[in-house]
């Protein structure tokens, strides 16, 4: 069994368990983050955030910081007894064992500090800058949406939708509709980013696997957008949706899960390709921001 086969099997098991959405931060907090390499400061991308999210759940980590044993030693740290690492994939598709800061002894208390934030409007980034306006809009996400330049129409309606070219515009329900609904304002941005990821398909020339049925290709597009949205939300500090919302039978996750699982069982490379496509979309969309948010591009 190859490394990809083993990773594919693990992701299938997590998806089937319906215990956590593996591309979302596994804990609920007013501040969301992407996993970051402690030495380079670069966010993990492609399949690796998914693998690290699964590791967070299994080992009950709350820190976003990860690194190899050599990297931690270089920073003056040492692995604690019984420290357990998580295998991630390098650019050359080789396994690399990384450890969360929770597994490392040394002067890293600042990395383990978890903000005790009760409301979104109190949430700040690592520099102490507020992430949300008093009106409940996420500052970074609003910059991203504006910078992308898509025809984005917010109106009173019951469903979000991206109308593909030649129409090429996005319709989204009002923020207030989300605020007073189950998903809250987090759901507003999760939905907005999902539709913007669909918008990026034509912009980037991305096509789902042409050898599959129309229904399967549509499911792959939804999968790419689901992962892309989760990564974008984390990069902007937007908390994940609660699992009961994700696992609602009407949600994209529940509706398309059976298709994702079947395609993963047929092709162990599928989750890798979709995760990479989602990361590429994140990079493409965030790169349109003129300043500030660009530093949050996952890598």
**Per-residue pLDDT reduced to its tens digit, 155-197:** 999 999 999 889 999 999 999 999 999 899 999 999 999 999 9
Q: Which residues are CB-contacts of 186 (< 8 A; sequence separation ≥ 6)?
A: 233, 238, 239, 240, 241
pLDDT of amino acid 292: 41
Give pLDDT tens digits for 10-64.
Answer: 999 999 998 889 999 877 666 678 999 999 999 999 999 999 999 999 998 888 8
Give pLDDT tens digits for 79-99.
Answer: 999 999 999 998 887 899 999
Helix (H/G/I), strand (E/B), else coil: 163: strand
Helix (H/G/I), strand (E/B), else coil: 152: strand
Helix (H) or strand (E) holding 153: strand 152-154
Show the DSSP H helices in 123-213 as ranges: 139-148, 175-179, 184-204
Q: Which residues are CB-contacts of 22 (< 8 A; sequence separation ≥ 6)?
A: 11, 14, 15, 50, 53, 54
- Annotate 145-181 with b (16+ C-beta within 10 A) or e (fewer): bebbebebebeeeeebebeeeeeeebbbbebebbeee
Rounded to whole angstroms, the Cα distance separating 35 from 56 reads 10
Average pLDDT in the 185-214 region? 93
Closest CA relative to residue 145, chosen from 274, 232, 268: 232
Rounded to whole angstroms, the Cα distance separating 206 from 261 reads 22
Closest CA relative to residue 232, chosen from 262, 194, 188: 194
Pair type for strands 95-100 and 65-67: antiparallel
For residues 240 and 25, is the Cβ–Cβ distance under 8 A? Answer: yes
Residues of the chain with pLDDT > 90: what percent?
A: 63
For residues 173 and 155, is the Cβ–Cβ distance under 8 A? Answer: yes
Residues, the chain: 299
Residue 276 — very low, low, confident or very high, per pLDDT cuts 50/70/90?
very high
Closest CA relative to residue 17, chosen from 272, 261, 266: 261
- Determine whether 33 is exposed, middle or buried from the number of CB atoms within 10 Å of its CB (0-12, 13-18, 19+): middle
For residues 104 and 59, is the Cβ–Cβ distance under 8 A? Answer: no
pLDDT of amino acid 112: 60
Rounded to whole angstroms, the Cα distance separating 198 from 226 reads 10
DSSP annotation of 170: E
Most confident of 31-35, 220-224, 234-238: 220-224
């Amino acid at each position: 069994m190859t490394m990809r086969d083993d990773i594919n099997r693990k992701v299938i098991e997590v998806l089937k368990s319906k215990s956590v959405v593996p591309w979302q931060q596994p804990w609920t907090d007013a501040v969301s983050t992407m996993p970051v390499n402690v030495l380079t400061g670069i966010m993990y991308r492609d399949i690796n955030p998914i693998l690290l999210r699964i590791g967070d759940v299994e080992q009950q980590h709350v820190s976003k910081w990860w690194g190899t044993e050599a990297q931690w030693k270089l920073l003056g740290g040492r692995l604690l007894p019984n420290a357990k690492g998580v295998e991630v994939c390098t650019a050359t598709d080789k396994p690399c064992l990384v450890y969360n800061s929770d597994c490392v002894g040394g002067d890293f208390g600042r990395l383990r500090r978890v903000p005790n934030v009760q409301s979104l409007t109190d949430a700040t980034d690592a520099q102490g800058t507020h992430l949300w306006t008093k009106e409940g809009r996420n500052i970074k996400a609003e910059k991203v949406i504006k910078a992308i330049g898509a025809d984005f129409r917010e109106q009173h309606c019951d469903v979000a939708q991206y109308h593909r070219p030649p129409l090429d515009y996005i319709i989204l329900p009002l923020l207030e509709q989300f605020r007073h609904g189950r998903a809250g304002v987090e759901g507003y941005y999760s939905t907005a980013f999902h539709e913007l990821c669909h918008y990026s398909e034509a912009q980037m020339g991305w096509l789902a696997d042409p050898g599959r049925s129309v229904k399967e290709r549509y499911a792959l597009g939804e999968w790419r957008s689901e992962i892309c949205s989760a990564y974008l939300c984390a990069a902007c500090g937007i908390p994940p949706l609660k699992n009961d919302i994700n696992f609602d039978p009407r949600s994209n996750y529940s509706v398309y899960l059976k298709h994702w699982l079947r395609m993963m069982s047929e092709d162990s490379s599928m989750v890798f390709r979709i995760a990479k496509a989602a990361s590429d979309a994140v990079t493409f969309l965030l790169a349109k921001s003129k300043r500030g948010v660009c530093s949050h591009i996952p890598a």
